Structure 1
Amino acid sequence: MAAVQYRKADWIAQADIQELADGRYQGVVMMSHELGADSEDTRHEVEAPSDSPEQALEQAVALAHRLLADVAR
């Protein structure tokens, strides 16, 4: 389950983190576009890993906001 979820029209952005093998953390965002009975899912990752889960989640939330802003254009 996502740590944070945002919705804009028929788009959902779920921001979360994953722990990497080296002990750092990666922010990830799953974008879903609901199309009636179907949905289209796309995974996006924050470019740079973080040393803390809190920082990784902050970066994932920022990415989720940017992605939702882009789909609104």
Structure 2
Amino acid sequence: MEDTIYTKGIYTATIGVRAIDGDQFQGLVSLTRDDGEDADATLYEVEAASGNEEEALEEARALAHRILGEIEL
């Protein structure tokens, strides 16, 4: 699966999915800031587990939009 990337100003959110206990999946958002310095990514996890990868990816997408929406430039 190819990474999906969203940007706002100098911030980049990359969404993904990982398998967790049993047949459950969790959405993830990695947020980086491109301000010319070496900055580590901040990893956000969707709180609820999903029954399939597509649901987890949709949850990660919603979380990425929420995070980027809260950033003030």
TM-score with structure 2 setting the length: 0.89
Residues 3-48 of structure 1, C-alpha deviations (whole Å, 9 max, x = no match) = 2100110000001100113121000000001120322310000000
Question: Which position in structure 2 is the counterpart of 1:38?
Answer: 38
Deviation, 1:2, is: 5.8
CA distance, structure 2, for counterparts of residue 7 and residue 18 of structure 1: 22
RMSD (Å), alpha carbons: 1.7
Structure 1 segments (4+ residues) deviating >6 Å: none
Q: Which structure 2 residue ranges, 5 or more long, are not aligned?
A: none
Contact 1:8 1:68 in 2 (8 A): yes
CA distance, structure 2, for counterparts of residue 72 and residue 2 of structure 1: 28
Larger strand proportion of the pair: 1
TM-score with structure 1 setting the length: 0.89
Q: Which structure 1 residue ranges, 5 or more long, are not aligned?
A: none
Contact 1:2 1:14 in 2 (8 A): no
